[in-house]
């Protein structure tokens, strides 16, 4: 048996997220279908994380086990030939038999893209949040470093039945939180030990609330109090979010 690690990129617009869902197109479902066709038997594909419906990836990591002796370059070509053009396998490598892309990840980086121009370029519309309204970048910039460090992100997490039923902690460590202002756009990049469901989108929603004058630094700190009953947000649209890196 061979453990195969792949790096892939995808446009999440037409998919209902990463995780397999009956009767719905998902990234994991597409990969498992293609892997099964190559293997001639069911193949389970594990990912580094479950991106939401509409979220994109520039550098997702996944792994699966094969008996097929197909050479790695040919495996990449075969997968890309069978996959829709919105999903591309960038590389294939042999991995240790026990490699798991989720449990062994040390850090992940996400990027959120906001266009502030009055008119959003049509070729970018699927990949940005268009927000042509006044924002105080000074207030947003003042809030961003508050998120760094180890915190309880309960207020920033959407309900997740699997994790909630198991009573998993919502404490995560943010290594870097950085807002970059460009002409007519804002790029927010966050690197952390891991992320909860909708966590990055709720962080962005909270920073936008700061930019609108509806949330200040003390209000953001209050959202990081353990088991905070107030919810952060509102949740920013999925289409502006990209998974840009996973570290091992």
Q: Would you please indicate which residues are annotated as catalytic (active-site) residues?
A: 52
**DSSP secondary structure letters along the chain:** -EEEEEEEEE-GGGSS-SS-BTTB--HHHHHHHHHHHHHTS----EESS-PPTT-EEEEEEEEEEE-----HHHHHHHHHHHS-TTEEEEEEEEE-TT--TTTT--EEEEEEEEE-SSS--TTTGGGSEE--S---HHHHHHHGGGG-EEEE-GGG----HHHHHTT---EEEEEEEEEEEETTEEEEEEEES---TTHHHHHHHHHHHHHHTS--HHHHHHHTSTT-SS---PPPPGGGEEEEEEE-
Torsion on CA atoms 102, 104, 107, 108, rounded to nearest 10: -20
């Amino acid at each position: 048996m061979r453990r195969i690690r792949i790096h892939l990129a995808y446009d999440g617009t037409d998919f209902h997220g990463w995780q397999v869902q009956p009767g719905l197109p998902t990234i994991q479902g597409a990969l498992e279908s293609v892997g099964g066709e190559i293997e001639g038997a069911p193949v389970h594909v594990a990912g580094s994380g479950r991106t939401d419906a509409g979220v994109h990836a520039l550098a997702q990591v996944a792994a699966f086990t094969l008996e097929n002796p197909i050479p790695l370059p040919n495996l990449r070509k075969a997968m890309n030939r069978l996959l829709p053009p919105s999903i591309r396998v960038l590389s294939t490598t042999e991995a240790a038999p026990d490699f798991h892309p989720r449990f062994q990840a040390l850090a992940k980086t996400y990027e959120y893209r906001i266009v502030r121009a009055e008119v959003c370029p049509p070729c970018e519309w699927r990949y940005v949040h268009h927000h042509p309204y006044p924002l105080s970048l000074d207030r947003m910039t003042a809030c961003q470093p508050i998120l760094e460090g180890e915190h309880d992100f309960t207020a920033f997490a959407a309900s997740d039945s699997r994790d909630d039923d198991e009573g998993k902690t919502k404490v995560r460590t943010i290594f870097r939180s950085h807002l970059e202002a460009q002409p007519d756009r804002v790029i927010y990049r966050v690197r952390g030990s891991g992320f909860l469901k909708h966590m990055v989108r709720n962080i962005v929603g909270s920073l936008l609330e700061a930019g609108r004058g509806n949330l200040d630094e003390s209000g953001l700190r209050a959202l990081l109090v353990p088991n905070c009953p107030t919810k952060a947000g509102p949740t920013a649209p999925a289409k502006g979010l990209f998974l840009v890196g996973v570290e091992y």
